[in-house]
A and B are shown apart, each in its own frame.
Chain A
Amino acid sequence: MPQRTMVEALNLALDESMDRDDAVCIMGEDVGINGGVFRVTKGLHEKYGERRVMDTPLAECGIIGTAVGMAINGLKPVTEIQFSGFTMQAFDQIEQNMARLHNRTMGRFPMRMVLRTPYGGGIRAVEHHSESRETYWAHTPGLKVVIPSGPRNARALLAAAIDDPDPVIFYEPKAVYRAFREDVPEERETMPIGTSQVVREGKDLTLISYGAMMRPAREAVEDLVDEHGIDVELIDLLTISPMDSETLCKSVAKTGRCVIVHEGHRTCGIASEIIARINEGAFEYLEAPIKRLTGYDIPFPYFQTEQYFLPDADDIIESVRETMAWE
């Protein structure tokens, strides 16, 4: 099986979706000849031409707004917003049209479209290039929010997002883009949206994370199992919205303890929602308070200090051990 980076895996998903369906098109800033600033759309302009791979004017609101119209007209636009920090420019069109047109028109104009965008810290970037504001979209009815963690699930989930009848916000962990390679099969592969994955089964504690934070989480789990004898069950959320409460609650009902890790801000962050769902679905099994390890409620710091803002494996180990020690 060929080894691919996440960038190559995403490129593969786009290529095969475009190959299968003429209605799939790409829109964004510098996605054409340049292949996108992270090269996710590399080679597609050459292969499919400028009709299907469109370099747009520099206006995020314009990209999403016109893509909404393309979707009304039966096309399946896959838009790229260069950095998730710039999606705020498009908030208007996401909230007013992308998320609501299906409902407004009672299903006459379903929004088959994807907004792809790199999110998260760790690449020593300037301001507005490191945010994790997935909460905004999870809070918006009508959208789906997907965040892969590695090359293989990134490819399978992007293919599924393009096929999905609903509008999908697809956050790509840019710290993972070229961080490692993984087996990604040649043949087309999809994964269901709305389903989380138990990456490692365990009986002592449920560790929930997603996206770029899955790397330190895996590292921590290895250490916790080997060095501390804690049998951690690790869950990769994969879809933020709609959230797979069943998998989360089932796991916590088994382990009784839970730690949640994400780099997004704490207040009203995704961990808050997970805790609420576990409270509703597995409260009677809890043996310790659920702990959340998140970004602080401050703007993402300038990059000389970003490593202190982001949770790392040591922080996760500490949080898990604290939660295990709670009586």
Chain B
Amino acid sequence: MDTTPIDLGHIEVLQILDEHAQLDEALDPGYAPEQLLRMHRGLVLTRAFDQRMLTMQRQGEMGTFAPNLGQEACQLGQVIPLTRDDWYSPSYRSFGAQIWRGWSMERLFKLWSGYHEGFPPPPDVNDLPFSIVIGSHVLPAVGVAMGMRYRNEPHCMVVNYGDGASSQGAVSEAMNFAAVNKAPVVFVCENNGWAISTPLGKQSATSNLAVRGIGFGVPTIRVDGNDILAMTTAVEQAANRARNGEGPMLIEAITYRMSLHTTADDPTVYRSQELVDPWEARCPIVRFETYLQRKGILDAEDAERVRAECDAEVIAARDRFRTDAVARPREIFDHIYGELPAELEAQKQAYLDRLDRKGVE
């Protein structure tokens, strides 16, 4: 009699640095101290940028934006394992990852304060711009990866989206297209528990979004998104798999939106502080610092110095932004078509005349 257990399937989970900053030594990725410190600085810089953005927004200098407090490890972990030849497709809350990828902070300040020139990815960075409409960037990200396969390039695409986006049909279509085409793409579902005021429980009847991958034939793993070592390890493995032609993978990263959905949002209307408190204790930066201190490569003084340096870096970028950012109303007709059609040329001329009459430079 065959007594082989039925394969009921299961979801792999990964945590390397637990909530108490205890390392699972069997899973230690073994990064060199300088790499660990670089990661730490990235986390601190992300938070410093986030806080400065919030201040500037409250002072009227910045448009509405989506803070990423508490999601720093999740974001950086997605891109740390990528090379310059790999691609990254961010969401609007991903600016920590964007800074790591090579977007200057001035560019991001411009982006979020309404200057078009902030929006395109920098010329030397293989990133997509994010889309404002939730989840609509995921299909193009898969298409870029399909293009890599078309050209037989050994690179990959990491695409980020959230628990809210997972309800969009286009995201399911993207996963299916990627699976069928064996596209070299890593889906990172950054599950922060909230889509504005809608908690995960109203977003999905399953609390586990990783299972979505299984239905499409996409291998999946659930990762502690506040554990930067688990994030980099999972993404690195998924990226290598993709680069080797083994197809897509889904990583559900569990994290928490500690702050506002956007600066136009007031979460006290829909969630109690009791829900947020446990996550204060799960702060990804504190966890990583505790680990580095125990490991003896960072002390409290170092941590303070890094914070001060990052703050200064952000302030310097803000000052450059204040000098550089210039609205260019005369250029709004540029970049619509390869060559402007006659009707649009006429509209442009009429518009420029109108600016002249109004005395606008």
Q: Decide: B139 and A69 in contact? CB cutoff 8 A.
A: yes
User: Which residues of A sit under 8 angstroms from B140, Cβ to Cβ?
Assistant: 65-66, 68-69, 72, 93, 97, 101
A-chain residues with CB within 8 Å of residue B144 when the two chains form the complex? 69-70, 72-73
A105 to B129, Cβ gap below 8 A? yes
Known contacts A73-B147, A104-B129, A106-B119; can you find 18 more A-B pairs with CB under 8 A? A54-B181, A56-B180, A57-B177, A57-B180, A62-B174, A66-B146, A69-B140, A73-B144, A73-B146, A92-B136, A93-B139, A93-B140, A104-B120, A106-B120, A106-B334, A165-B337, A242-B342, A242-B343
Residue contact B170 to A65, C-beta cutoff 8 Å: yes
Residues in A neighbouring B146, C-beta threshold 8 A: 66, 69-70, 73
- Cα A178 to Cα B331 in complex, Å, equals 46
Q: Which of A57-98 contact B (CB under 8 A)?
A: 57, 59, 61-62, 64-75, 92-93, 96-97
Bound form: Cα–Cα A267–B116 in Å: 34
Which chain B residue shows the least CB distance to A105? B120
- State the CA gap A242–B338 with chains docked (Å): 13
State the interface size on chain A (CB cutoff 8 A): 45
Contacts of A20 in B (CB 8 A): none
**How many A-B residue contacts, CB cutoff 8 Å?**
134
The 7 closest A-B CB pairs, nearest first, are A69-B143, A65-B139, A73-B147, A242-B341, A165-B338, A66-B143, A62-B173
B192-215, CB < 8 A from A: none
A62 touching B116, Cβ below 8 Å: no
- Which residues of B pack against A, CB within 8 Å? 116-117, 119-121, 123, 128-129, 131, 133, 136-148, 150-151, 169-170, 173-174, 176-177, 180-181, 334-339, 341-344
Name A264-305 residues within 8 Å CB distance of B: 277
Q: How far is the CA of A194 from the CA of B334 in the complex (A)?
A: 19
Residue contact A243 to B343, C-beta cutoff 8 Å: yes
Chain B residues closer than 8 Å to A62, beta-carbon distance: 139, 170, 173-174, 176-177
- Min Cβ gap B4→A in Å is 33
Taking a contact as CB atoms under 8 Å apart, the answer to whether B147 and A96 are in contact is no
Q: How far is the CB of A50 from chain B (nearest CB, A)?
A: 10
Query: Nearest chain A CB to B36's CB is how many angstroms away?
Result: 34
- Chain A CB within 10 Å, residue with most, of B142, B173, B334, B335: B173
Within the complex, the shortest CB–CB distance from A57 to chain B, in Å, comes to: 5
Complex alpha-carbon distance, A75 and B147, angstroms: 7
Choice from B116, B177, B336 contacting A66 with Cβ under 8 Å: B177
Within 8 A of B (CB), among A137-159: 141-142, 144
Query: How far is it, in angstroms, between the C-alpha of A207 and the C-alpha of B23 when the chains are bound?
Result: 79
